[in-house]
Amino acid sequence: DGGITQSPKYLFRKEGQNVTLSCEQNLNHDAMYWYRQDPGQGLRLIYYSQIVNDFQKGDIAEGYSVSREKKESFPLTVTSAQKNPTAFYLCASSPSPKTNQPQHFGDGTRLSIL
């Protein structure tokens, strides 16, 4: 089945440690996105990519980094500079954002600090 796979489902980070969250899609979508969700709140955009080897900062990019070396993959690194990384992280993809087609989401990675 086509879809978006995020791994791991749960992740624990020690203070001062960088961690990388994986996001893979087999929908042949051009655009990919990373969101952060805090308890009881909506989603906030971290980074997005419209095409391979290109990405832009969203609303809360500080302390995060991404790469887009392949169309299918858009990993997110939570760096030690992110002072409050505990959250639910969601990856999404869509055909070109210049169409009306919706974004589709993975099932998320829950990151916690030890």
Of 12-20, 60-68, 71-79, 91-99, the segment contacting another protein by CB under 8 A is 91-99
Letters for 33-62 (x = contact with another protein by CB under 8 A, - = none) are x-x----xxxx-x--x-x-----x-xx---
Q: How far is the CB of 79 from another protein (least distance, A)?
A: 22
Strand partners, 7: 22
The DSSP secondary structure of 43-104, one letter per residue, reads EEEEEEEEETTEEEE-TT-TTEEE--SBTTB--EEE-TT-S---EEEEEEEES-TTSSPPPE
Among 19, 21, 31, 111, binds another protein (CB under 8 A): 31
Specify the DSSP element, H or E, that contains 4.
Answer: strand 4-7
- Residue that has been written with the tokens 């980094």 in this structure: 65
Among 15, 16, 54, 102, binds another protein (CB under 8 A): 102
Give CA separation, 30 vs 9, 44, 56, in Å. 24, 20, 14
21 is an interface residue for another protein by CB under 8 A: no
Residues at the site binding another protein, with contacts judged by CB under 8 A: 4, 6, 31, 33, 35, 40-43, 45, 48, 50, 56, 58-59, 88, 90, 92, 97-100, 102-108, 110
